[in-house]
């Protein structure tokens, strides 16, 4: 090990007069640098209570990971001073370069957070910064916990969305609560049961703010609907347009699979029938036009879906209800069982369905967030625990203030 000049580091670390860089030593073979800092003051500020006390002794030497210097892995090393406060309790003072109970500096935390935001992958971030996965994971967890504590408790959410997202195989789901106006995930809970959903809503919303929720976009999952009815009785339930059309698409495909046995023209026509016409390839468009011209039940089912989509954008609830009833009567007259079944399901949730025809808010933003969550899962090749999954989702999509206060 060879000693370097410490004057330069006195300046760049921006320490006050109580701290001094004693020496800087480097190992050329390992490409590592240690910056040894000493506390030279006679008194120190006790964090609890916040007041000055004389130095009692020094804690055992600790090491904090710092930003690399000239591609050398860099650590700050220091024996922190301890004071005896008014309660006669010996307290270790906090260093200006790091938070309590961490083993990295504020600046290194910022670097990890910024790199994580860019890569969205903890393993890749650890490789780029020459540190361990556990260190990156610990910073991610700490920053999310810090961000959640800083989140204002009196935020008013007038519009909410609830959606599910698969977590693991064997029908393991999480429930995602998001804001369609901000495009941010508020929080998530494990499972999609009534109990879990109620706990999530009660945790996020104060009693006063529950009354201020105007609309909540959700699919027809019973556990979600009963939870909303009990926790947010004044909120207007809006069944998500995406899921409504999805039910119709699934019914169309069932009709197609039933009819393809008798009509070879329907072979390999799934995407030609389910995609929006403006997104069809030339080959799909030709197949679609042939099917539309034929008198197949799947052709009629496609028209049913398009007629339903035309109801979106109704001016009033009365108009939406009248148009829906006309649409439902036409569906019944077709005698296409798959479509009739969907129409009856919609009728059982008439208010929420018709709210979707009038209200501008939907789960479109929630679906985009679902896509971002899926990207996270794909990059990380899944998450073993719900805790890790939740923290990663909130880190990247929670809009939290993640940075340490003293990072500047």
In a domain, 199, yes or no: no
Tokens 């609309």 -> residue: 215
pLDDT band at 155 (very low <50, low <70, confident <90, very high): confident
Question: What pLDDT score was predicted for residue 88?
Answer: 85
Torsion from C-alpha of 254, 255, 257, 262, nearest 10 degrees: 160
Give the pLDDT confidence of 83-101 residue by residue, as tens digits: 988 888 888 988 999 988 8
Which DSSP string do the residues of 249-312 spell out, in sequence order? HHHHHHHHHHHTTT-GGGTT-HHHHHS-GGG--HHHHHHHHHHHHS--HHHHHHHHHHHHHTTT
The helix/strand/coil state of 97 is coil
Contacts of 32 by beta carbon, 8 Å cutoff, 6+ apart: 26, 72, 73, 74, 75
In a domain, 90, yes or no: yes
Q: What is the mean pLDDT of residues 318-326?
A: 95
Give the pLDDT confidence of 2-45 residue by residue, as tens digits: 445 566 676 677 788 888 888 888 888 889 999 999 999 888 88
In a domain, 315, yes or no: yes
Q: How far apart are CA 91 and CA 49, in angstroms?
A: 10
Q: Which residues pair with 104 in a beta bridge?
A: 65
Domain stops at, among 97, 130, 158: 97
Question: What pLDDT score was predicted for residue 11?
Answer: 66
φ, ψ of residue 188 in degrees (nearest 5): -135, 160
Task: Assess contact for 188 and 393: CB atoms under 8 A.
Answer: yes
Q: How far apart are CA 166 and CA 197, in angstroms?
A: 15
- Considering only residues 376 and 224, tell me which one the structure prediction assigns the higher pLDDT: 224
- Considering only residues 115 and 373, tell me which one the structure prediction assigns the higher pLDDT: 115
Domain stops at, among 97, 112, 145: 97
Q: How far apart are CA 228 and CA 220, in angstroms?
A: 12
Question: What pLDDT score was predicted for residue 107?
Answer: 93
Give the pLDDT confidence of 248-296 residue by residue, as tens digits: 999 999 999 998 888 878 888 888 888 888 888 888 888 888 888 888 8
Q: Which residues pair with 77 in a beta bridge?
A: 36, 63
Q: How many domains does the chain have?
A: 2
The helix/strand/coil state of 401 is coil
Q: Compute CA distances 386 → 135, 174, 190, 216, 393, whole Å.
A: 19, 8, 7, 25, 10
Question: What pLDDT score was predicted for residue 1?
Answer: 44
Give the pLDDT confidence of 347-388 residue by residue, as tens digits: 999 999 999 999 876 666 767 888 888 888 888 777 888 999
State the pTM of this model.
0.83
Give the pLDDT confidence of 43-67 residue by residue, as tens digits: 888 876 677 888 889 999 999 999 9
Give the pLDDT confidence of 175-196 residue by residue, as tens digits: 999 998 888 999 999 999 999 9
- Domain span holding position 268: 241-358
Dig out the tokens for 313 from the structure. 């954008």
Percent of the chain with pLDDT over 90: 57
Q: What is the mean pLDDT of residues 222-235?
A: 94
Q: How far apart are CA 364 and CA 370, in angstroms?
A: 10
Question: What pLDDT score was predicted for residue 192?
Answer: 92
| Gap between the terminal Cα atoms of the chain | 32
Q: What is the mean pLDDT of residues 167-174?
A: 79
In a domain, 310, yes or no: yes
Q: What share of the chain is helix, strand, coil (3-state, %, to 5)?
A: 50, 20, 30
7-29 as b/e: b if 16+ CB within 10 A:
eebeeebebeebbebeebebeee
Q: Which residues pair with 176 in a beta bridge?
A: 163, 188
Percent of the chain with pLDDT over 70: 94
Q: Indicate the DSSP class of residue 182.
A: T
Question: What pLDDT score was predicted for residue 2?
Answer: 45
Contacts of 403 by beta carbon, 8 Å cutoff, 6+ apart: 109, 110, 113, 143
Question: What pLDDT score was predicted for residue 408?
Answer: 47
In a domain, 181, yes or no: no
In a domain, 384, yes or no: no
Q: How far apart are CA 75 and CA 52, in angstroms?
A: 28
Domain stops at, among 75, 97, 119: 97
Number of other residues whose CB lies within 10 A of the CB of residue 352: 22
Strand pairing report for 43-47 and 50-58: antiparallel
In a domain, 38, yes or no: yes
In a domain, 399, yes or no: no
The sheet carrying 72-78 orders its strands as 2-4, 19-27, 32-39, 72-78, 62-69
């Amino acid at each position: 090990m060879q000693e370097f000049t410490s004057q330069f580091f006195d300046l760049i670390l921006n320490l006050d007069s109580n701290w001094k860089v004693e020496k800087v030593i480097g190992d050329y073979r390992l490409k590592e640098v240690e910056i040894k800092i000493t506390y030279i003051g006679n008194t120190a500020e006790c964090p609890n209570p916040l007041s000055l006390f004389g130095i009692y002794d020094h804690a055992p030497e600790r090491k904090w990971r710092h930003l690399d210097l000239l591609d050398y892995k860099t650590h700050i090393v220091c024996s922190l001073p301890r004071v005896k406060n008014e309660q006669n309790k010996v307290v270790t003072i906090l260093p200006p370069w790091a938070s309590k109970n961490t083993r990295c500096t504020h600046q290194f935390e910022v670097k990890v957070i910024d790199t994580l935001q860019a890569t969205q992958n903890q393993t890749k971030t650890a490789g780029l910064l020459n540190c361990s996965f556990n260190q990156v994971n610990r910073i991610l967890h700490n920053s999310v916990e810090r961000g959640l504590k800083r989140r204002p408790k009196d935020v008013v959410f007038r519009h909410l969305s609830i959606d599910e997202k698969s977590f693991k195989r064997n029908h393991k789901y999480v429930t995602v609560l998001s804001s369609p106006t901000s495009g941010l995930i508020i929080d998530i809970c494990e499972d999609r049961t009534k109990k879990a959903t109620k706990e999530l809503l009660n945790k996020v919303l104060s009693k006063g703010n529950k009354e201020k929720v105007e609309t909540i976009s959700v699919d027809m999952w019973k556990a979600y609907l009963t939870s909303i009815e009990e926790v947010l009785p004044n909120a207007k339930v809006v069944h998500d347009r995406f899921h409504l059309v999805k039910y119709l698409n699934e019914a169309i495909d069932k009709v197609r699979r039933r009819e393809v046995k008798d009509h070879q023209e329907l072979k390999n026509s799934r995407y030609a029938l389910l995609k929006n016409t403006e997104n069809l390839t030339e080959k799909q468009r030709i197949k679609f036009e042939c099917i539309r011209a034929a008198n197949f039940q799947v052709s009629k089912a496609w028209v049913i879906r398009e007629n339903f989509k035309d109801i979106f954008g109704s001016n009033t609830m009365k108009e939406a209800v009248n148009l829906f009833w006309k649409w439902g009567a036409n569906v019944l007259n077709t005698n296409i069982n798959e479509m009739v079944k969907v129409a009856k399901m919609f009728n059982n949730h008439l208010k929420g369905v018709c709210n979707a025809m009038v209200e501008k808010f939907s789960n479109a933003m929630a679906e985009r967030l679902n896509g971002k969550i899926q990207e996270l899962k794909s990059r990380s090749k899944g998450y073993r625990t719900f805790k890790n999954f939740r923290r990663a989702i909130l880190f990247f999509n929670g809009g939290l203030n993640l940075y340490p206060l003293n990072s500047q």
